[in-house]
Chains A and B, each alone.
Chain A
Amino acid sequence: MERKTGLVFFPAFDWAISPTHPEREERLLYTRDQLFEEGIMDLPQISEYKPRMATHKDIARAHFCVPDVATQITEAHLFAVGGALVLADALMNKEITNGFALVRPPGHHAMRVAHGNRGFCNINNEAIMIEYLRQKYDLNKVVIVDTDVHHGDGTQDMFYHDPDVLFISFHQDGRTLYPGSGFCDELGGPNAFGMNINIPLQPNTTDEGIHYVLENLVLPIIEDFKPDLVVNSAGQDNHYTDPLANMRFTAHGYASLNEKLNPDLAVLEGGYAIETALPYVNTGIILAMAGLDYSWVREPEYRPEDFYETKDRMDYTKKLVSYLWEVWKNREELGAEKYPRNGDFLELSRHIYYDTDSIREQQYEDIRLCDDCPGYQVIRSRGMYPYGSSKLIEAIGIHPRACKSCQEEARKLYEEKKKDYQGVDVIYLQDKVQDRYFQYSKDGDVEVTDEQQTTR
């Protein structure tokens, strides 16, 4: 097959969170102008695809939507994630060498339990795509590299207990930026310790710093892990002109990052310098993925002398990299130390805040510890909504490689919970072994299917 880069461009010119929100109609307008004026879609190295509408089942593979899928989505969400799914199919059918879903709305802040919108995200495009790929094709190990300036806390949550999906996020330090997480000690749950690598960088880090991280940590870890698929969660807000963050990354830096990382699939995340960065960054990424010369791509005001690493910042970055490399190498011992196996379950609890929708969530997780498999998790979550209302849900998620006895246990648990659901609004069973998804509420037991595509 000749080399082809698949592209889905879905700018959702008729969708916004609100008229002046960064996630509005205008966001990819200038990117459209630049890409179209360049004649990108005509290049023999590019195949443009039309997004399809994802189904409720596609979403239920990754999320527990409260109270149901239709409530958490709009048509724009179904097309944005559908764009990623179209490329995933094209990749697996060997129509394309790699693909970039240039879609909005974004998704990397959306977690397993979805009570509402967090950080401009309702549903997690990459997670839905990966679950889809795992079900439809023979795919075992996946790496997601989150190149957005914000910590991909949603994607981290999605795969925190999944040893088959390695999540690596570099981002501006959570002490200086939303969502305030993504520290080095968030390394994965007891079943997947070391499969979650956070690289918090200091504000003002430039191409040099990020490429140091890429070459000395991200790429060696990927090489070591030997994934079947590499996904770039491709935010563009590390750019030096981004209004929401403080990093110093350039269009050229993003392009060469994609050349080195060589992702199979990239999905657009954030990036809100809609005039000064996005037209150039997106052009650069596409050219790099298509194996074309991107050296002519540069921002209008770019002056190389404005970009340099201070010694302090570089020292910090280097120390961080060597620390995390040690963690990666010793992840098994460190995991055993942090989560000594006693008992069949480990209970975790935490508090989650939804900035966009002002929701507070209290969550308890029971992690099944099994010697034979990655097990299942039981989540109990109460979302406290503005104006005093709240919803309580219980959710069981079975890993695709769960052993027989874990599967049976989890399914039995769902049946038991259904019998005694006093005070619980919805009970979920996410059975990734059988690829079937159920939810139980006062309306009865409902299976989420591919036929459903409606929104509320």
Chain B
Amino acid sequence: MFIGLDVGGTYTDAVLMDGRKITKKTKVPTDNDNLFDSLLNALDPLLEAVKGKNLERIVLSTTLITNLIATKNVDPTALVIIPGPGLNPSTYDYKVPHTFLLSGAIDYRGREIDPLDEQEIKTCAQKIKEAGLKRAVVVGKFSQRNKKHEEKVASYLQEEIPGIRVAMGHQVTGRLNFPRRVFTSLLTIATQERFRTFYSEVLKLLEQRGISAPLYILKADGGTISFDLSAKKPVETIFSGPAASTLGGLALTPKGETTVVVDIGGTTTDLALILSGEPLLASRGAHIDDKLTHVRAFATSSAAVGGDSCLQVQDGLLQIMPYRKGAAYCLGGTHPTPTDAMRVTGITDIGDEKQAVKAMELLGKDLGIGPQKAAEHVLEKTVQRIAGEIEAMFIAWEQEPAYRIWELQQRKKIRPQNLVGIGAASPALLPLLGKEMGCSALTPPDADVANAIGAALAKTNLRLTFHFDTQRNFYFIEETGVQEKLTDIDSLADAESFSMRRLKEEGERIGISAKEEPELVYSELFNMVRGWRRGGRLIDVCVQFPTGIIEYLEEGDA
């Protein structure tokens, strides 16, 4: 049996699942000052129910990392960058007061262009020491293709400054994009320690309850990772909430179809896309706290409209404001909201009907229509706003740049077959939205705990992107920071089978079942031609155990 636990901003949900069946579910309000209590309030009833049975794993999705970053009072960190030629490094403001620039450069093939300057490193170490900093991040341009400079600087700092913790860019991420590598490395070092504290507290609580089932956490890309491994790069678990709801949506919809997961909340509607059964990942890393990172995450979007959105009339036109002003009128508030409109048209029975009518009368007066008409108008506008955002997401996906002919040709216009609604206001509004968009609207009975379902059912995923350079005889792996010498690889087939082998080894290490099928995401070979002859080959191979859910819920199972 699995337990899925989602500690969200408002509610904490948990489900206990036996295969595809939900055996028990809980939902408690989240106390943001005491997350552990909320967690236990949701978890304990399930632990009771699972007593004496085989609990295989617990998967947690949480906004914790988001909170850690939001609090911002992290210990000061030194940033040491080795930018080499190109963009003036001051073009990006990393907002780190103690930033040091070192000379030295590596090129796109991993060759050293300029050596490091020992004197500069010395001076830099001296200044970090004087400032009393206990953490440093060292990032070089193209360090993922040659880690030599980063390692040399890091080990010097460690020698000179006792007790300093140093993160190196190439270990955090090997994807191209130096500024994002800097930001991601900074976030990594900023969250590591607190995440460890959180982790050991959770372990202690579970131990007290005699639970020995392995604990996993959900990453932003929808894969689970064992709790201890996640402590290395906690930043990957940011946005695990949206990932959980996307996967929950996936679990609640027909296999292989194109679906939009619609989560209508108080003032926002969160959206995620499932294209032909596969949740869509953003082509670039996530935006965290105004910073662009390398964190892989689902492509999500949000429309500034929800059940509690404040409604106004300006110049005779209805405006849905992006904020709330207290509760809905029918629930004792002072401003008309879509919730009131839903009550008036009878698609919900939440709140006081008379008050709801009154709210719509207020609005209707300024619009020159009666309360019934006003309510219909509100719902029409609300639905159009959400539909517009969904359309924009599909267009953004179609318009994503691509660099190969086949990629450009395969990106055909598609539109959703289903909407799946999760979140409080969804069951009422979704049928209207489905009608507007011409697709079927699904509001499954367990949608209220969709996030917990998504967490419970998420697979452990693993993606490895290999880059082989047969002329310089080395390869590296983007995701792990491995840079090693290469032998016996010349063809695409060699590279693919090498990558597959490494993926399976690594998969075994992190607990991916041998039954899982690894897949080749893409592979590409470039012949290097020098003077009209072949000089070597550059081969890129990406392999993965994909993101997905363990088992699909079937209708009537819940």
Contact = CB atoms under 8 A, between A and B. Distances in A.
Interface in B245-302: 284, 292
A79 B142 contact: no
Interface stretch (A48-56, A339-347, A422-430): A48-56
B95 interface: no
B514 interface: no
A24 B409 CA distance: 20
Interface of B: 83, 85-89, 91-92, 105, 107-109, 113-114, 141-142, 176-180, 284, 292, 399-406, 408-409, 524, 526-529, 531-534, 538
A185 interface: no
Contacts of A25: 526-527
A37 B142 CA distance: 7
B395 to A, nearest CB: 11
Given A11-B403, A37-B177, A300-B113, A19 B87 contact: no
B176 A297 contact: no
A421 interface: no
Interface string A250-293: 00000000000000000000000001000110010001000011
Given A14-B404, A37-B142, A39-B292, 10 more contacts: A11-B403, A13-B403, A29-B526, A37-B176, A38-B178, A39-B87, A39-B92, A43-B91, A49-B399, A297-B87
Complex A-B, nearest 9 residue pairs according to Cβ-Cβ distance, in ascending order? A33-B108, A36-B176, A39-B179, A300-B113, A293-B88, A38-B87, A296-B88, A37-B176, A26-B526
A326 B557 CA distance: 88
Contacts, number: 114
Given A37-B177, A42-B180, A42-B292, A287 B404 contact: no
Given A26-B526, A29-B526, A279 B108 contact: yes
Contacts of A79: 405, 408
B97 to A, nearest CB: 22
B527 A283 contact: no
13 contacts: A12-B403, A25-B527, A29-B526, A30-B109, A39-B87, A39-B177, A42-B179, A42-B180, A42-B284, A50-B408, A51-B408, A296-B86, A300-B105
Nearest to B143: A37
B177 A36 contact: yes
A20 B409 CA distance: 25
A79 B408 CA distance: 9
A50 B400 contact: yes
A9 B177 contact: no
Contacts of B178: 37-39
A26 B537 CA distance: 10
A38 B180 CA distance: 9
A296 B108 CA distance: 16
A20 B92 contact: no
Contact of B527 (A19, A243, A275): A19
Nearest to B85: A298
Given A75-B405, A296-B86, A20 B533 contact: yes
Contacts of B91: 43, 292-293
A48 B114 CA distance: 31
A12 B405 contact: yes
A53 B529 CA distance: 29
Contacts of B179: 39, 42
A314 interface: no
Contacts of B108: 30, 33-34, 37, 279
Interface string A1-30: 000000001111111000110001110011
